[in-house]
C-alpha cells in the first residue's frame, strides 16, 4: 500500500474509491456505528468550494454509501478489521464521540477530525459546534500514534473550552500530508471543505503556518479558520501567557493573601511563543531573580539582552525543574512531571503554559501525580484550566469579531475566577485542584 503501511483506516477507502467515513461511538450505550461513502470523483474541483458548490451539495451522480455492516465487511476484506477495533477501543477509553475521515487521493491527503464531545456546542447559534486546532503530520509517522495524539488533544479541548467558558465541544484535526502550499487552491479548498463538514472552529497548530487562516478567509473558502497574522485579536502567545500569569497571581493571593509576586524567585522553562511573554510578566511582576532555560543558547541570550537591569540567570533544561525557587513556570514540552521529577521539585507554585505537563496516559494517573505534587506543599492545578487564552482568542475572533482589547478583558474576567474556583473548591472538598476541575468538567460533559 506504499506509504500507508500495513495498518490504516485509509487503505479500504483508497482501494474502493471512497472519500469519506464517520466512526461514531455512544459511551452511554457502548454502540458503535459507521458510515462510509464516495462523495466526489477523483477530478473534483475543490478550488471552487464556497464559490460554485457548497457544503451540503451532492457532488457526483455515482455516489456510494455504506452502512455499519458494510463497513465492517469492507475492513475485514482488506485485513483492517482488527485495526479498526483497536481504534474503537481508543474511543471507548476516552468516551469520544467519534472520528470523521476524509481522503483526497489526488494529493494523498488523509484528514481525520478527532471529536471528543459536541455537547457544549449544541444550539450555540454558530456553524461550528466544536473548537480545536488543526495540525499536520508526516507520512513516516505511525497512523495509530497520530490517532492517539489527536484523540487526546480533542479530549483536552473539551476541558479547555469549559475553562474558557466557550460554547463549543472539543476536537482536534490531524492531517497527514506534505508541507502545505498556500498557493495550491485545490488543497486549500479541500481543507476548508473538510473542516466545514465537521463543524469545527480551528486555528493552525503544529506544522501548519498561521497564514493559512488568512488565505482561507480572504479567498472565501471558510470563516471557521482563525488566528491568522491579520486577525485583530493578534497572536495567541501573548494572551495565553497573560492568562497563566493572572492565574499565578490568584494562586499567590489564595495562599498568602496578597496578589503579587514581588520579591519572589522564579524558574522558566521554554522561551517560545508563550514562554517569552511569561518571562516578561514575571519580570514586570517584580521577581527578584529569574532563571531561564531553553534548548537554544541564542534565545536565552537574546532574552537577557532585551531585558537589561534584571537579575536573570540561565540553566540547562535538564536542571530547571530542580531549582530552588518560589515559582516554576514550564512553557515548553509536556510530560515532564512523573514520580522521579516530582520528588526533586523544590518550588512553591507551578504555573505554566505547556500542555500535558503530567506524564500520564490516563486521567486517573494525572490525578495521582497531582496528589504527589500537592503532598510536597506545592500549589498546582492542571494546565488546561489556565492556559486556555489561546482558544479564547480564537473564539473572540470567530464569534465577536473582537480585537486585542476585548480579548484582554475576557482573559482578565475568566482566568482569575477560574483559579479561585479550583483552589477554593479543592480545599472544601479535600482533594487537589486537578481532581476538582476534572470532576467539575465531567459532570458537564457526561451527565
Tens-digit pLDDT profile for residues 391-427: 999 999 999 999 999 999 999 999 999 999 999 999 9
* Residue 40, pLDDT score: 97
> Does residue 232 have a pLDDT over 90?
yes
* Residue 191, pLDDT score: 98
Stated as kind and residue range, the H or E segment containing 26 is strand 20-26
Q: How far apart are CA 271 and CA 268, in angstroms?
A: 8
CB atoms within 10 A of CB 174: 26
Q: What is the CATH number of domain 237-446?
A: 3.40.50.720
Tens digits of residue pLDDT in 369-385: 999 999 999 999 999 99
> Does residue 2 have a pLDDT over 50?
no
> Does residue 66 have a pLDDT over 80?
yes
* Residue 361, pLDDT score: 76
pTM of the shown model: 0.91
> Does residue 123 have a pLDDT over 50?
yes
Q: What are the residue boundaries of the structural domains of the chain, listed by start?
A: 7-218, 237-446
Cell of 122: 449544541
* Residue 5, pLDDT score: 61
* Domain formed by 7-218, architecture: 3-Layer(aba) Sandwich (3.40)
Give SS3 for 185.
Answer: helix
* Residue 396, pLDDT score: 96
> Does residue 71 have a pLDDT over 70?
yes
**Least confident interval from 98-107, 218-227, 231-240, 424-433:** 231-240
Cell of 216: 482561507
* Residue 21, pLDDT score: 98
Q: What is the mean pLDDT of residues 156-176?
A: 96
Kindly state the percentage of the chain with pLDDT values over 90: 93
Tens digits of residue pLDDT in 237-291: 899 999 999 999 999 999 999 999 999 999 999 999 899 999 999 999 999 999 9
Stated as kind and residue range, the H or E segment containing 275 is helix 275-284
> Does residue 1 have a pLDDT over 60?
no
Give SS3 for 396.
Answer: helix
Cα 25 to chain center, whole Å?
21
> Does residue 116 have a pLDDT over 70?
yes
Exposure string for 313-350, b = 16+ CB within 10 A, e = fewer: eebeeeebbbbebbbbbbbbeeebbeeeebeebebbbb
Half-sphere exposure of 347 (CA within 13 A, CB side): 26
* Residue 360, pLDDT score: 86
Site of grid cell 509536556 = 334
* Residue 3, pLDDT score: 55
> Does residue 97 have a pLDDT over 50?
yes
> Does residue 183 have a pLDDT over 80?
yes
Checking phi first, is residue 130 left (phi over 0); if not, alpha (psi -120 to 50) or beta?
beta
* Residue 206, pLDDT score: 85
CB 206 within 8 A of CB 173: no
Grade residue 363 by pLDDT with cuts at 50, 70 and 90.
Answer: confident
Domains 7-218 and 237-446 are alike in CATH topology: yes
Grade residue 4 by pLDDT with cuts at 50, 70 and 90.
Answer: low
Amino acid at each position: 500500500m506504499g506509504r500507508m503501511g500495513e495498518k490504516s483506516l485509509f487503505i479500504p477507502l483508497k482501494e474502493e474509491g471512497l472519500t469519506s467515513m464517520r466512526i461514531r461511538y455512544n459511551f452511554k450505550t457502548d454502540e458503535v456505528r459507521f458510515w462510509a461513502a464516495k462523495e466526489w470523483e477523483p477530478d473534483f474541483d475543490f478550488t471552487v468550494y464556497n464559490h460554485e458548490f457548497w457544503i451540503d451539495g451532492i457532488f457526483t451522480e455515482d455516489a456510494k454509501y455504506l452502512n455499519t455492516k458494510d463497513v465492517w465487511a469492507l475492513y475485514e476484506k482488506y485485513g483492517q478489521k482488527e485495526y479498526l477495533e483497536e481504534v474503537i477501543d481508543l474511543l471507548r477509553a476516552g468516551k469520544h464521540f467519534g472520528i470523521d475521515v476524509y481522503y483526497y487521493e489526488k494529493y494523498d491527503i488523509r484528514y481525520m477530525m478527532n471529536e471528543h464531545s459536541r455537547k457544549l456546542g449544541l444550539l450555540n447559534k454558530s456553524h461550528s459546534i466544536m473548537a480545536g486546532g488543526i495540525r499536520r503530520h508526516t507520512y513516516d509517522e505511525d497512523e495509530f500514534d497520530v490517532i492517539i495524539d489527536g484523540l487526546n488533544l480533542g479530549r483536552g479541548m473539551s476541558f479547555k473550552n469549559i475553562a474558557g467558558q466557550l460554547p463549543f465541544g472539543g476536537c482536534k484535526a490531524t492531517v497527514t500530508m506534505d508541507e502545505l502550499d498556500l498557493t495550491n487552491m485545490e488543497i486549500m479548498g479541500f481543507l476548508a471543505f473538510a473542516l466545514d463538514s465537521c463543524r469545527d472552529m480551528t486555528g493552525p497548530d503544529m506544522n501548519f503556518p498561521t497564514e493559512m487562516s488568512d488565505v482561507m478567509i480572504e479567498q472565501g473558502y471558510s470563516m471557521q479558520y482563525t488566528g491568522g497574522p491579520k486577525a485583530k485579536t493578534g497572536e495567541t502567545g501573548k494572551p495565553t501567557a497573560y492568562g497563566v500569569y493572572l492565574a499565578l497571581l490568584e494562586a499567590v493571593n489564595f495562599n498568602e493573601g496578597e496578589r503579587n509576586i514581588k520579591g519572589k524567585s522564579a524558574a522558566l522553562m521554554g522561551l517560545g511563543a508563550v514562554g517569552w511573554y511569561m518571562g516578561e510578566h514575571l519580570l514586570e511582576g517584580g521577581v527578584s531573580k529569574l532563571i531561564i532555560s531553553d534548548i537554544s543558547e541564542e534565545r536565552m541570550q537574546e532574552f537577557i539582552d532585551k531585558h537589561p537591569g534584571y537579575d536573570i540567570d540561565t540553566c540547562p533544561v535538564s536542571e530547571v525543574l530542580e531549582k530552588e525557587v518560589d515559582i516554576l513556570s514550564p512553557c515548553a514540552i509536556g510530560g515532564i512531571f512523573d514520580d522521579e521529577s516530582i520528588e526533586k521539585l523544590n518550588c512553591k507554585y507551578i504555573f505554566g503554559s505547556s500542555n500535558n505537563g503530567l506524564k500520564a496516559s490516563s486521567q486517573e494517573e494525572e490525578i495521582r501525580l497531582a496528589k504527589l505534587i500537592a503532598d510536597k506543599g506545592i500549589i498546582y492545578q492542571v494546565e488546561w484550566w489556565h492556559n486556555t487564552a489561546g482558544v479564547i482568542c480564537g473564539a473572540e475572533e470567530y464569534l465577536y469579531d473582537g480585537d486585542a482589547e476585548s480579548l484582554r478583558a475576557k482573559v482578565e474576567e475568566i482566568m482569575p475566577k477560574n483559579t479561585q474556583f479550583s483552589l477554593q473548591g479543592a480545599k472544601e472538598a479535600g482533594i487537589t485542584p486537578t481532581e476538582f476541575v476534572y470532576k467539575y468538567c465531567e459532570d458537564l460533559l457526561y451527565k
